[in-house]
Amino acid sequence: MKIPALIMAGGKGSRMGRPTEKPMTPFLDKPLIDWVINAVLTSQKISEFYVITSANTPKTEQHCQNKNWKIVHTDAQGYHEDLKQAIKKLDWKGPVLTMPSDVPAITAKILDKIIVDFEGCGKDFLAVFVPIENRQKLGLSISSTDEYQGNWYTVSGINIINGTKILDEGKTETAAIITQETEVTLNINTTKDLEIAKQLINKAKNDVR
């Protein structure tokens, strides 16, 4: 199975407290969004991708156009509304991988594993969660959380959804992956998160040498 992907890059990114659009925030040698798209481009399980932009992110949109990456411009009504608008515009009725533009450590290998797990789960929705204590141990912010089977987790922002179901507004059966992988844990919400992620990735590079 190969499925399409949407990279969410239309939010205000207000928690970063920077004038730079969040997807365009420099991270080591390139913008945050470039790290994410590199993983998508090298995935064996992703058929195509679009970047979701809005009036909040004109520089990101221009950057994507310069790279010849396909975009869907949405109305900046919020994460879920923009996601639904993009899926409706694209008329995608099957599984769709959705992910934020601020997980710079993500890899194609992990994305492919998530898609394989979705194939076997038999549900319409697969969420990827990280234990709250994992982010706390690294000194990362705790912002978006969700409950699954009686426990609370931090939201990675990486999900697979059924395009038809999300537009129907009906109840969807949900499965989840609970992961402690650093590549998924490093979701950048604040300037402090950004600096911690840089340090961890640089350390990992040095350890490999």
CATH number at residue 193: 3.90.550.10
Structural domain boundaries, residue 123: 3-208
pLDDT for 11: 87
pLDDT for 166: 78
pLDDT for 12: 79
**Residue numbers of the chain with a pLDDT score lower than 50:** none
pLDDT for 97: 98
Q: Between vectors from CA 47 to CA 27 and to CA 167, what angle results, nearest 5°? A: 90
| Number of structural domains found in the chain | 1
Secondary structure string (H, E, C) spanning the chain: CCEEEEEECCCCCHHHCCCCCHHHCEECCEEHHHHHHHHHHCCCCEEEEEEEECCCCHHHHHHHHHCCCCEEECCCCCHHHHHHHHHHHHCCCCEEEEEECCCCCCCHHHHHHHHHHHHHHCCCEEEEEEEHHHHHHHCCCCCCEEEECCEEEEEEEEEEEEHHHHHHCCCCCEEEEECCCHHHHCCCCCHHHHHHHHHHHHHHHHHHC
pLDDT for 206: 73
Q: Are 176 and 125 in contact (CB under 8 A)?
A: no
Residue 177 backbone zone (phi > 0: left; psi -120 to 50: alpha; other: beta): beta
pLDDT for 42: 97
What is the C-alpha to C-alpha distance for residues 178 and 183, in angstroms, rounded to an integer?
Answer: 13
What is the C-alpha to C-alpha distance for residues 95 and 100, in angstroms, rounded to an integer?
Answer: 17
Q: Quick one: CA torsion of 9, 11, 15, 16, rounded to 10 degrees? A: 40
Number of CB atoms found within 10 A of residue 89's CB = 13
